[in-house]
Amino acid sequence: MEEFKRLNRELTYKGTIVDFYKDTIQVPNGNIVNWDFIGHQGAAAVLPVREDGKLIMVRQYRNAIDRYTLELPAGGLNAPDEPTEKAAIRELREETGYIAGQWELLVSIYTTVAFCNEKIDIYLARDLKPGERHLDEDEVINVEAYGTEELCEMIYSGKIQDSKTVAAVLAYKNKFLREC
């Protein structure tokens, strides 16, 4: 396979969640090009499953698309070396109030490989116990429960478009249920 060579990476803006870079790349034919790169320190998400089989989702406003979304509880790592399972445990408690007795890595995804290195490890959480939520100051979140079939219908009809949620629900269905 032909090689690409990064000649330079210049930080153009340091954000609170992501950093923006201009990369100078030499492509295999020898041309020099500039590519955008967005650096992200990673995230964790949780697919919580109640004993009745319902999946816990959160509904919240997302500024980037100017609407409410139905998605998994999730959040960024507090540091690049924070274990993702630790972050998943924290986010489940903060956003839903639940704690889980069983944890399993379900799937890992890169959200937008063309220009961003955001990786999300998605965990399956079972043996849920309700507790108290600890929302961040900017979070307004409704906690809702759905059957897998309902969520699959929302995915296929375009009502759920969040990539981590689509990946998690379909991975769970494929690995554990075979429905939808």
Closest to 71 measured CA to CA, from 178, 171, 174, 168: 168
CA gap 21, 14 in Å, rounded: 9
- Single out the catalytic residue among 94, 137, 149, 150: 137
Count CB-CB contacts under 10 A for residue 2. 6
Q: How far apart are the first and last CA of the chain?
A: 39
Structure tokens given for 66 = 């100017």
| 3-state SS, residue 144 | strand
**Residue 137 annotated among the catalytic residues of the structure:** yes
- Rounded CA-CA distance 136/45 in Å is 16
- Of 90, 101, 93, nearest to 126 by C-alpha is 101
Catalytic (active-site) positions? 137
